[in-house]
A and B are shown apart, each in its own frame.
Chain A
Amino acid sequence: MWKYEKKLQYPVKVSTCNPTLAKYLMEQYGGADGELAAALRYLNQRYTIPEKVIGLLTDIGTEEFAHLEMIATMIYKLTKDATPQQLRDAGLSEHYASHDSALYYENAAGVPFTAAYIQAKGDPIADLYEDIAAEEKARATYQWLIDLSDDPDLNDSLRFLREREVVHSQRFREAVEILKEERDRKKIF
């Protein structure tokens, strides 16, 4: 089961209402390399991965939900005071027509989230390499978002999230080594 904590993992502040930035951030909300895809990918892989890696997938998958909440908070804060005209200027009129100012699991181009973004191969090395690639793609996306953003408060939170991708990638690389070591040991005996 899961337990909700009534706090963000890291503070999220935004300087001004900025629906254009919110639109870009949707890439990390419902996009292919976003936080929802990450959380669902890792938590789903747990059931068929060797025992030594289950804890890591559980804990990183859980942290991704905390990141999803941070992204949601950013989008919420950047759009909550926006007028329909401001949303239209930001290219969000199609979003507004269907969702008003509600959040929706879609990418920056408005494409809805799909489970086709994630894989579950059942092969531990294949799954972990996908996880490493996912973290590196998410890190790159955060870099592009920071480059696009001119909001210093928002960038502080985005930098935190970018660093987390680096740490997760590192831990997944260690998991690969642990599994390789275990496999080689089995061959010897």
Chain B
Amino acid sequence: MAKTMPIEYYQQLEEIQTADFVLVELVLYLDTHPTDAQAIEQYNQYAQYSKQLKRTFESQFGPLELGSINQIPDYWQWNRSPWPWEV
């Protein structure tokens, strides 16, 4: 079941993981420092950046989450491999 995906899959996914990691760190920090305007600005910046990266990835490899557009009109991509543990 282990799938070999094109190199762009891994590269783009890692960029998304990196951006989303920044978000996770900022979210936890802001939960205990809710008035840090600089951190809020960084959070908003990275939230936008992460959305951009995901849109590019999803146009090639299908939706990362429900609510994203299924870009192939006649095939439901969500249910298609690889799942995260398969790559």
Contact A10 B17, CB 8 Å, known A56-B32, A59-B27, A174-B32: yes
Q: Inside 8 A of A69's CB, which chain B residues have their CB?
A: 84-85
Contact B67 A7 (CB under 8 A): no
Whether a CB of chain B sits under 8 angstroms from the CB of A189 is no
Chain A contact residues: over half helix, strand or loop, or mixed? helix
B53-87 residues with Cβ-Cβ distance < 8 A to A are 63-67, 78, 83-85
Contact A6 B1 (CB under 8 A): no
Partner of A7, one of B1, B17, B32: B17
Chain A 116-129, CB-CB to B under 8 Å as 1, else 0, gives 00000000000000
Contact A7 B85 (CB under 8 A): no
Whether a CB of chain A sits under 8 angstroms from the CB of B22 is no
Chain B contact residues: over half helix, strand or loop, or mixed? helix
Whether a CB of chain B sits under 8 angstroms from the CB of A158 is no
Among the interface residues A8, A12, A72, A77, which one has the most CB atoms of the partner chain B within 10 A? A8
Contact A80 B84 (CB under 8 A): no
Among the interface residues B13, B20, B28, which one has the most CB atoms of the partner chain A within 10 A? B28
Contact A73 B32, CB 8 Å, known A3-B65, A7-B16, A11-B14: no
What separation, in Å, do the CA atoms of A77 and B16 have in the docked complex?
A: 22
What separation, in Å, do the CA atoms of A7 and B78 have in the docked complex?
A: 12
Whether a CB of chain B sits under 8 angstroms from the CB of A184 is no
Chain A 98-127, CB-CB to B under 8 Å as 1, else 0, gives 000000000000000000000000000000
Chain B minimum-CB-distance residue to A66: B24
User: How many residues of chain B have a CB within 8 Å of chain A?
Assistant: 25
User: How many residues of chain A have a CB within 8 Å of chain B?
Assistant: 27
What separation, in Å, do the CA atoms of A178 and B25 have in the docked complex?
A: 19
Partner of B65, one of A4, A59, A80, A175: A4
Whether a CB of chain A sits under 8 angstroms from the CB of B31 is yes
Contact A167 B32 (CB under 8 A): no
A8-26 residues with Cβ-Cβ distance < 8 A to B are 8-12
Chain B 1-35, CB-CB to A under 8 Å as 1, else 0, gives 11000000000011011001100110111011100
Q: Which residues of A contact B (CB under 8 A)?
A: 3-12, 55-56, 59-60, 63, 69, 72-73, 76-77, 80, 167-168, 171, 174-175, 178
| A–B complex contacts, Cβ < 8 Å, 24 sampled | A4-B65, A6-B63, A6-B65, A6-B78, A6-B83, A7-B16, A7-B17, A7-B64, A7-B84, A8-B84, A9-B20, A9-B21, A11-B17, A56-B28, A56-B31, A56-B32, A59-B28, A63-B28, A69-B84, A69-B85, A76-B85, A167-B25, A171-B31, A171-B32
